[in-house]
């Protein structure tokens, strides 16, 4: 085996496209057993679509943030009202078929280790964990993304809350939370979208760690490159990557403007503690007047639901045997290449964790591996 690709989201499919373009043959297609170079894409999802297939049904193509064409096949503009959880997986499935990528699913990779100069990738069927398959490869393109690692921050009193606690990862319908007040925690795009959606069925309080950074500018390619460069600087230093939205800010779309005017998209600073029935701002809480963008409010809020829109972390536990982590907590990167082990390319990590950089990352990863092999 020449290359194993882990994950079939945007970055993984982009990498697979460029592997094929460079002459490698997908495992499963005619003649692969005698080909000089082969690759396999392993994906743990039940169907094509990456993380998009898990998005909440109310997220339409009109509202979805940052969907980009895959290389070699444009995304034909669907009905703007169509749920992204249907439209994008359909596009990805068409893409896999058009380029004969033979994605193997649902297959989960449990461990990657070094074995006599090769990378040993241990995988198993999601449906039958005892069915283990091991792959020996010259290179690994890891595109496992973040969806499987929702981040739950620790806050005083969280375990004492008697209401419902839900991560954005598991959100489905606003109506599911219509039985009482909802405190939405998080300053990213998903927090904004879900606060707007939930406010149509119940009352909400929006809470953020930093004041919302609204940007009334068009998201141009130049702005995208600037954002990618700033996140890239962190990964080159071995620091955990920040999100793209932390650099680009939040877009002032017409819907968001209406939400601000209506008093829905107005944020309070983080609460001090969680109580059995809600949240409290104590003397140690940040003074909202200290930063523009926050609003003041009562010292406590009763809530039925705490919705944690607090993001995700890179799903890299299977790489632990390779000891790639730097003292700073991240992995020292040179673009998509792991500095400590150039056989390993991380796409969908750091600057390529959004569709802004995913396609470019797939191409770069394949180029890097060819350079390593030619040495």
Rounded distance between C-alpha atoms, residue 279 and residue 183, angstroms: 8
pLDDT tens track for 58-103: 888 887 765 678 999 988 766 888 898 999 999 999 999 999 999 9
pLDDT at position 326 is: 86
Contact (Cβ atoms closer than 8 angstroms) between residue 142 and residue 42: no
- The average confidence (pLDDT) of the chain is 90
β-strands 182-185, 305-308 pairing: parallel
Q: State the maximum Cα–Cα separation within the chain, in Å, rounded to a whole number.
A: 70
pTM over 0.85? The answer is yes
Order of all β-strands in the sheet with 25-26: 25-26, 38-42, 3-6, 139-142, 344-346, 337-338, 333-334
Rounded distance between C-alpha atoms, residue 12 and residue 352, angstroms: 11
Fold: same for 3-147+313-374 and 158-213+249-308:
yes
DSSP label at residue 278:
E
Judged against a pLDDT cut of 80, whether residue 176 lies above it is answered with yes
Domain boundaries, the chain: 3-147+313-374, 158-213+249-308
CATH architecture of 158-213+249-308: 3-Layer(bba) Sandwich (3.50)
Q: Which of 12-21, 119-128, 233-242, 289-298 has the lowest mean pLDDT?
A: 233-242
Residues across the chain: 375
Structure tokens at 316: 């890299």
Rounded distance between C-alpha atoms, residue 38 and residue 5, angstroms: 11
Q: Which of 19-28, 31-40, 212-221, 238-247 has the lowest mean pLDDT?
A: 238-247
β-strands 250-251, 214-215 pairing: parallel
Bridge partners of 118, per DSSP, are: 115
Domain 3-147+313-374 adopts which CATH fold? FAD/NAD(P)-binding domain (3.50.50)
Q: Which of 196, 212, 215 is nearest to 204 (CA)?
A: 196
pLDDT tens track for 235-291: 766 667 666 666 678 889 899 999 999 999 999 999 999 999 999 999 999 999 988
pLDDT at position 157 is: 95
What stretches of the chain show up as alpha helix (H) in DSSP? 10-21, 84-98, 189-198, 221-236, 245-248, 254-261, 355-374
DSSP label at residue 33:
G
pLDDT tens track for 288-324: 998 889 999 999 999 999 999 999 999 999 999 999 9
Contacts 24+ apart (CB under 8 A), 352-356: 352/11, 352/228, 353/145, 353/146, 353/231, 353/241, 353/243, 353/244, 353/314, 354/66, 354/244, 355/10, 355/66, 355/67, 355/68, 356/66, 356/68, 356/224, 356/227, 356/228, 356/244
């Amino acid at each position: 085996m020449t290359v194993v690709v882990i994950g079939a989201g945007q970055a993984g499919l982009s990498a697979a496209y460029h592997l094929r373009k460079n002459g490698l043959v997908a495992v499963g297609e005619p003649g692969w057993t005698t080909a000089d170079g082969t690759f396999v894409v392993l994906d743990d999802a039940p169907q094509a679509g990456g993380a998009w297939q898990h998005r909440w049904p109310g997220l339409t193509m009109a509202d979805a943030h940052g969907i980009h064409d895959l290389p070699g096949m444009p995304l034909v503009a669907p009905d703007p009202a169509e749920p992204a959880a249907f439209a994008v997986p359909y596009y990805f499935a068409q893409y896999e078929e058009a380029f004969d990528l033979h994605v193997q699913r649902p297959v989960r990779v449990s461990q990657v280790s070094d074995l006599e100069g090769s990378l040993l990738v241990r995988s198993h069927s999601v449906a039958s964990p005892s069915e283990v398959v091991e792959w020996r490869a010259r290179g690994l393109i890891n595109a496992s993304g973040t969806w499987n690692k929702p981040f739950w921050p620790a806050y005083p009193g969280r375990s004492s809350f008697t209401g419902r606690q839900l991560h954005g990862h598991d959100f489905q319908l606003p109506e599911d939370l219509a039985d009482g007040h909802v405190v939405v925690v998080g300053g990213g795009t998903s927090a904004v979208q879900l606060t707007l959606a939930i406010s149509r069925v119940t009352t909400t309080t929006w809470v953020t760690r930093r004041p919302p950074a609204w940007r009334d500018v068009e998201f141009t390619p130049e702005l995208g490159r600037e954002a990618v460069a700033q996140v890239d600087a962190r990964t080159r230093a071995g620091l955990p990557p920040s999100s793209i939205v932390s650099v680009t800010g939040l877009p002032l779309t017409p819907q968001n403007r209406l939400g601000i005017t209506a008093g829905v998209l107005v944020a309070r600073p983080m609460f001090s503690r969680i109580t059995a029935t809600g949240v409290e701002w104590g003397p140690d809480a940040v003074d909202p007047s200290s930063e523009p963008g926050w609003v003041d409010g009562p010292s406590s809020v009763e809530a039925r639901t705490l919705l944690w829109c607090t993001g995700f972390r890179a799903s890299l536990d299977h790489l632990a045997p390779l000891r790639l982590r730097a003292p700073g907590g991240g992995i020292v990167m040179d673009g998509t290449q792991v500095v400590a082990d150039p056989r390993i390319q991380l796409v969908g990590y750091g600057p390529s964790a959004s569709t802004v950089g995913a396609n470019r990352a797939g191409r770069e990863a394949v180029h890097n591996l060819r350079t390593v092999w030619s040495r």
